[in-house]
Amino acid sequence: MKLSEAAVRWWSSWCSIRIETNTDGYAVISNNSQLQSYLNTFGDVEVEWDSADKVYRVPAFRLEIEKYNAAKAAQCKIWGCE
């Protein structure tokens, strides 16, 4: 389903949702302004609900996220991580 369709499901319950970005971070959306900002940045992406982690996953970002994580791990090997 599209993010805009998913938003209709949770909008009436007055809660926030977490949705993947194209990095290892999540966007937390709890109002229309935040939703519009996400849509302007990433578009009305297809999402899948991950009930284990309670987050909307974006299958189209999977490869980008994997590349980001690999690059981040390589930098951690060089510079260390906390």
pLDDT digits (tens, 9 = 90+) for 47-60: 999 999 999 999 99
| pLDDT tier, 12 (very low <50, low <70, confident <90, very high otherwise) | low
Tell me the pTM: 0.82
In 3-state terms, what secondary structure has residue 53? coil
Question: Cα torsion at 10, 16, 22, 25 (round to 10°)?
Answer: -150
> Which pLDDT value is given to residue 38?
96
Average pLDDT score, the chain: 90
